[in-house]
Amino acid sequence: MLVTWLLACGSAEPVAPEAPATHAAILKAADAHDGVEDHVVSECGGCSLAMKGDPAHSVEVDGYALHFCSASCKDAFEADVEGGMKRIGNAATR
Where is pLDDT greater, at 72 or 93?
Answer: 72
pLDDT given for residue 13 in this prediction: 55
3-state secondary structure 44-59: CHHHCCCCECEEEEEE
Q: Backbone phi, then psi, for 16, in 5-degree steps? A: -75, 140
Q: Is residue 80 part of a domain?
A: yes
- Number of folded domains that form the chain: 1
pLDDT at 14: 52
What would the pLDDT profile of 1-35 be if each residue is shown by its tens digit? Answer: 544 444 445 555 554 444 456 999 999 999 999 99
User: Does a structural domain hold residue 8?
Assistant: no
Note down the domain range covering 70: 19-92
| 43, 49 contact by CB (below 8 A) | yes
| Predicted model pTM | 0.76
Domain membership of residue 3 (yes or no) is no
pLDDT of residue 94: 83
